[in-house]
Chain A
Amino acid sequence: MRKLFVVLAALGLGFLGSAAEYILIGGVAPLSAPGAAESGHEMKLAMEMAVAEINAAGGVLGKEIKLVVEDTRGLPEEGSAAMNRLADMGVVGVVGEFHSAVAKAEIEVAKARKLPFIISEAWADVLTAKQYKYVFRIAPANSLFYTKVADWIRAVGFKNVVAIVENTDWGLGVNGVLERELGTKPNIYGEKVKYTYIVAERTVTDFTPQLLRFKAMRPRPDLIMNIFTGTGEYLIVKQAAEIGLAPTRETAMFAVGTSALYPEFWETVGDYGLFVITKTGYHPILGVTPAIKEFVSKFREKYGRTPTFAAMEAYDSIYTLVKAIEMAKSTDPDDIVAALEKVRHDGVLGTIYFSTEKEPAWMYHQWPGAKAVVIQYTEVGQKYTEALLLWPAILKP
């Protein structure tokens, strides 16, 4: 059925193509299981909002933009199929993606079919470290971001850190950075940080056995890194609290996944969310630019929920791509890439530009401006924008 729909859509677009003048932009995001559909949908909403605004302001190169968002279902094979479908439809560039494993397949298609591709929200280092000409990234690379999280862990003086890691490229990537950073550098008291982790499938719903094991450890862990997204992330928070493990005086809970910023966090974990620590790439303390204010209120008005980092990235991705097309005055892929290497777009997250440095490898075509802040919920039901800022210390008011 869905295939049929895609065919019909393609035919429909083909028909329109002969009649109307427009520029086609592709989007990729997980919109159904087993992907993180909750994040994929948010990104899709943000992309649609950006395109609607640009069209209302007259489009680009005098033409209207059409957006086609393809569902990658969080599966690499679906991702590369989606990229190929988009290329067949004749898109001039692609933005989006949430899962690193899927993005890893998608960049190969981008390379082979010369499709400028701005990765919005997939963090694995390797995506930019491959240094493909057509691949750019607004999301921070894991190393860029989690080095800063590791700095915080050491600065607080944690000694026994345990992690539950989802068995995905993203989870393993985050885990890799933390293991490297914590394993090689001592904490603020000059002590060695003991970092142990366990890996679990995204489909696990009962973490209690493992959490009980943590509770029985001596000395008891002082920090749990919950490196999960979606339902799993909520369940770890909930179940750790239920067995009296964390957050407690002895043990802190760090929910690493983006889902900890969603309103569903409070709906699902309730009181257990109090004193949970999480991270974000955006926080008002970093400076609420008029752009952010405007974006947040527009998004809320249109969709009834507070957008997260992922929505801002997707929104900025569309604008950046369009701006590059405008600069290039062409839809030729090589012209667009040349423009992307020079573009400076004042977006929601800040001024978006892409580095052309090749050292460290992941810096290539990476937006280096992503910020990492560590926050803690101090009230039940608190919005993440009002949560207590823990790090970087220098930003503390």
Chain B
Amino acid sequence: MLEFYLAQVVNGLIVGLIYALMAVGLSLIFSVLKIVNFAHGDCYMIGGFFSYYLATLLGFHPIAAVFVGMLGVMAVGILIHQLLLKPLYTPKVERKGEYAILMTFGIGIFLQNLAMALFGPWTKRPPDFIPGVTKLGFLFIDNNRLVVAGVGIVIMLVLLYVIGRTFIGKALRAVSQDRDAAAIVGVNPVRMNLLAFGIGVGLAGAAGALIGPVFLISPVMGILPGVKSFVIIVLGGMGSIRGAIIASILLGLVESLGSVFFLDPTRGLAYKNAFGVLLLALVLLFKPTGLFGEKFVRLE
């Protein structure tokens, strides 16, 4: 029975890493732009399709396709930001919070329907990163999941390095903490917004591209992961990158073990998505700002 629980833990960790890629991007966008990107799940979906077509039509190596797909989603993000989100920083838009919600929501619906029209509703599977299964004693782990975990960790480390160690990362953090003070020392906040949005949706795209061979792709694949990332960033504390990573792993583990320890095993999987919300409710009860949250922030 120990093997069984260990297998669940490994599975939970890997799923948690996938959540983390998504949620970190959402958190980055929130911390710098002070908006919640409701199109995040759909950027994840676009990433899945980009890398699928790069690999199948253009013959890219599946792992190369993930990175090129990520760049493609970044480009889409930059376009969205320049065309549709930039008005947020002008006095033309008065109710900025509402504008951002409606705009990103609309973009999400548009992307989903566009994908439905362009790619069709059928489920697709990108080629394997590495086919087959790795047997570690009693553990059976799909090789694709191992690749997802490995590449996910690498992307996350690069991101943490950029945010924490480089000058550009410091400028990003400065804007997230105090836009006016950052502007007064020469940092262009709009440029930082663009950068954060590009990186943020790029990460979602990378997650979608990575997940393709594991969970398959379809135009609706982003809906649930999108919702989960919202849960995660609230759980981890709005705008906290570290919080998002820890909350993701936590959610992966809770979902994996929760459906096993649930009192009525026949309903365990039916309540899978509820475990995250339960966890959220518990955390918020004792720490209303989330695990690593600072204080309530809002775009004025």
User: Is there a contact between chains A and B in the complex with CB atoms less than 8 Å apart?
Assistant: yes
**Is the pair B267, A38 in contact by a Cβ cutoff of 8 Å?**
no
Say yes or no: is B187 at the interface (Cβ < 8 Å to chain A): no
Total residue contacts A-B, CB cutoff 8 A: 127
Which residue of A34, A201, A230 is within 8 Å of B123 (Cβ)?
A230
CB contacts (< 8 Å) of A197 on chain B: these are 266
**Is the pair B273, A209 in contact by a Cβ cutoff of 8 Å?**
no
Say yes or no: is A167 at the interface (Cβ < 8 Å to chain B): yes
CA distance A234 to B223 in the complex (A): 18
CB contacts (< 8 Å) of A7 on chain B: these are none
Interface residues on A, range: 35 or more
Say yes or no: is B161 at the interface (Cβ < 8 Å to chain A): no
Say yes or no: is A19 at the interface (Cβ < 8 Å to chain B): no
**Is the pair A209, B269 in contact by a Cβ cutoff of 8 Å?**
yes
CB contacts (< 8 Å) of A38 on chain B: these are 120-123, 218
Say yes or no: is A206 at the interface (Cβ < 8 Å to chain B): yes
Binds B, one of A88-96, A264-272, A378-386: A264-272
Which residue of B121, B125, B219, B257 is within 8 Å of A268 (Cβ)?
B125
* Least CB distance, B38 to chain A, in whole angstroms: 15
Interface residues of A in 234-286 (CB under 8 A from B): 234-235, 238-239, 242-244, 259, 262, 264, 267-270
Interface residues of B in 178-227 (CB under 8 A from A): 215-216, 218-221, 223-224
CA distance A215 to B139 in the complex (A): 12
Which residue of A199, A212, A270 is within 8 Å of B270 (Cβ)?
A199
Contacts A37-B116, A216-B1, A216-B4 given; indicate if A207 touches B269 (C-beta within 8 A): yes
* Least CB distance, A211 to chain B, in whole angstroms: 10
CB contacts (< 8 Å) of A242 on chain B: these are 133, 140-142
CB contacts (< 8 Å) of B260 on chain A: these are 209, 212-213
Interface residues of B in 1-33 (CB under 8 A from A): 1, 3-4, 7-8, 11-12, 15
CA distance A201 to B271 in the complex (A): 8
**Nearest B residue (CB) for A39:** B121
Say yes or no: is B289 at the interface (Cβ < 8 Å to chain A): no
CB contacts (< 8 Å) of A198 on chain B: these are 265-270
CB contacts (< 8 Å) of A203 on chain B: these are 223-224, 273
Q: How many residues of B contact A (CB 8 A)?
A: 45
CA distance A207 to B1 in the complex (A): 19
**Is the pair A33, B219 in contact by a Cβ cutoff of 8 Å?**
yes
CB contacts (< 8 Å) of A348 on chain B: these are none
**Is the pair A205, B121 in contact by a Cβ cutoff of 8 Å?**
no
CA distance A203 to B224 in the complex (A): 7
**Is the pair A200, B266 in contact by a Cβ cutoff of 8 Å?**
no
**Is the pair A201, B273 in contact by a Cβ cutoff of 8 Å?**
yes
Which residue of B8, B123, B140, B259 is within 8 Å of A234 (Cβ)?
B123
Name the residue in B1, B133, B266, B273 with the highest tally of chain A Cβ atoms < 10 Å from its Cβ.
Answer: B266
**Is the pair B269, A270 in contact by a Cβ cutoff of 8 Å?**
no
Contacts A198-B266, A198-B268, A199-B266 given; indicate if A267 touches B4 (C-beta within 8 A): no
Say yes or no: is A55 at the interface (Cβ < 8 Å to chain B): no
* Least CB distance, A63 to chain B, in whole angstroms: 32
Say yes or no: is B173 at the interface (Cβ < 8 Å to chain A): no
CB contacts (< 8 Å) of A200 on chain B: these are 269-270, 272
Q: B-contacting residues of A (Cβ < 8 Å)?
A: 31-34, 37-38, 40-41, 164, 167, 196-201, 203-210, 212-213, 215-216, 230-231, 234-235, 238-239, 242-244, 259, 262, 264, 267-270
Q: Other CB < 8 Å A-B pairs besides A216-B4, A230-B218, 10 of them? A: A38-B123, A198-B268, A198-B270, A199-B267, A200-B269, A209-B12, A212-B7, A216-B3, A243-B140, A264-B123
Question: Can you list 24 A-B contacts with CB-CB less than 8 angstroms, sorted by A residue number?
Answer: A32-B112, A37-B121, A38-B218, A41-B121, A198-B266, A199-B270, A200-B269, A203-B273, A206-B15, A208-B256, A209-B8, A209-B12, A209-B259, A209-B272, A210-B268, A230-B218, A231-B216, A231-B221, A235-B215, A238-B216, A242-B133, A259-B123, A267-B123, A267-B125
